[in-house]
């Protein structure tokens, strides 16, 4: 669910919740929101949470990630193999490696290593995994490691 939908959904019903914090932190917060021109704490907290959600969403979609896309399918189904190959060629820049294993007479296991913007990787996986005839598919995302210690 994207941030806009979350905001729309929560508009329907307002939920009250308590927040615990030290008096010193609350005093700092009150000073901050007064400087920022908010009328009350609830208004300020809502705005700050929305900002954070939007920021997080943007960061996630813009980040470069690596992922594997795993697919199990029968190579005998219609033109499934051709369709999957066609999609993969379209994204040759992001798909850095593929492995194809013939599981038995009918079934194939294909594992793709993909690297690129999170939003691009997600849409590649969506296109492949929504192809009719895929028996099982999964996208597993991980970090490029650049930002990890
Ligand atoms: Ni095969």
Can you name the residues that pair with 100 across neighbouring β-strands? 110
The pLDDT, as a whole number, for residue 11 is 60
Q: Where are the alpha helices (DSSP H) in 63-129?
A: 80-90, 118-129
pLDDT at 56: 78
**Average pLDDT over every residue of 126-146:** 90
- Rg of the chain taking only CA atoms, in angstroms: 23
Q: How close is the Cα of 123 to the center of ligand 1, in Å?
A: 24
At residue 4, does pLDDT exceed 70? Answer: no
Looking at every residue in the chain, the average pLDDT score rounds to 89
**Distance in Å, CA 87 to ligand 1 centroid:** 17
pTM passes above 0.75: no
Q: Tokens representing 98?
A: 């593929």
**91 Cα: distance to centroid of ligand 1 (angstroms):** 21
What residues pack around ion ligand 1 (CB closer than 5 A)?
75, 102, 108
Q: How many angstroms does the Cα of residue 110 sit away from the middle of ligand 1?
A: 8
Q: What is the pLDDT of residue 29?
A: 94
Distance between Cα 49 and ligand 1 center (Å):
48
Contacts of 76 (CB under 8 A, 6+ apart): 106
Between the CA of 109 and the centroid of ligand 1 the distance, in Å, is 7
């Amino acid at each position: 669910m994207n941030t806009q939908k979350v905001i729309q959904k929560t508009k329907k019903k307002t939920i009250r919740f308590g927040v615990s914090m030290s008096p010193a932190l609350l005093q700092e917060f009150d000073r901050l929101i007064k400087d920022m021109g908010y009328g009350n704490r609830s208004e300020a907290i809502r705005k700050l949470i929305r900002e954070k959600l939007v920021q997080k969403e943007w960061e996630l979609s813009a980040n470069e990630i690596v992922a594997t896309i795993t697919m199990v399918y029968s190579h005998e189904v219609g033109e499934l193999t051709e369709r999957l190959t066609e999609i993969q060629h379209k994204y040759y820049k992001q798909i850095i490696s593929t492995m194809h294993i013939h599981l038995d007479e009918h079934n194939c296991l294909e594992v793709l290593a993909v690297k690129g913007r999170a939003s691009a990787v997600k849409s590649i996986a969506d296109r492949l995994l929504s192809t009719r005839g895929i028996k099982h598919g999964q996208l597993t995302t991980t970090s490029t490691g650049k930002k990890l210690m």
